[in-house]
Structure 1
Amino acid sequence: MATWQCVKQCGACCNLDPADRPEIEDYLTPEELELYMSMVGEGGWCINFDHETRECRIYANRPRFCRVETTIFEDMYGIEPEELNDFAIECCRQQIEGVYGDRSLEMLRFDKAVGF
């Protein structure tokens, strides 16, 4: 069975382009939406994403919507705890494909890490 995990130095989720998330207003509070939009920088990339190290500069203090945690996904998306693993894997695969491509090094690394 595949098990979700974040793959270091990927950063696909740091591509915040609102055009790629048309339902964003459905799952963020007005305050979170304002914060989200303030984080969108050049090319849709998060202003806190370090392109050289490919890591988040505020990881320990990142907003709720940047975290893959059971209670957050249940609250934001209605995902039951037992569904989180499969849902998170699919979300990551879609995001990685959209940002880097389905045959990218990032996708290969992610698939290997999760056992896909």
Structure 2
Amino acid sequence: MKRVLVVDDDPDILEVFQMALESERYEVLPLLSPRYIFKNIKDFEPDLIILDIMLNGMDGRIVFKELKSNPDTENIPVILASARYDETYIHSQQYHPDAYLEKPFEVARLLQEVKTLT
């Protein structure tokens, strides 16, 4: 079973991610904060990470850069998600996600991106 780590500070959005992914038989670890993301990655060993950009008190882009700069996590695919930024902006940054979801997103698109990356 493929594992997906999802980080979003909105419990309702986190629940949508979890329900959609579990319906497709993914094992999901939902996190409301990236505070202990590296410990959770080590323990859970995800095949994919879905990371919100606008997190309460934290910037998901910084977390993303840390993931891609760390040899232990650099090869884990990451989908960035945001209601604030568009895909053009995301791809203009130094580090590029494996996929991008603009919120609100269609569940079918989420599942297709996850399937492609896992």
Return the TM-score normalized by structure 2.
Answer: 0.30
Question: Bigger radius of gyration, 1 or 2?
Answer: 1
Between 1 and 2, higher relative CO (CA 8 Å, sep ≥ 6) is seen in 1
More helix by share: 1
What TM-score, normalized by structure 1, do the two folds share? 0.31
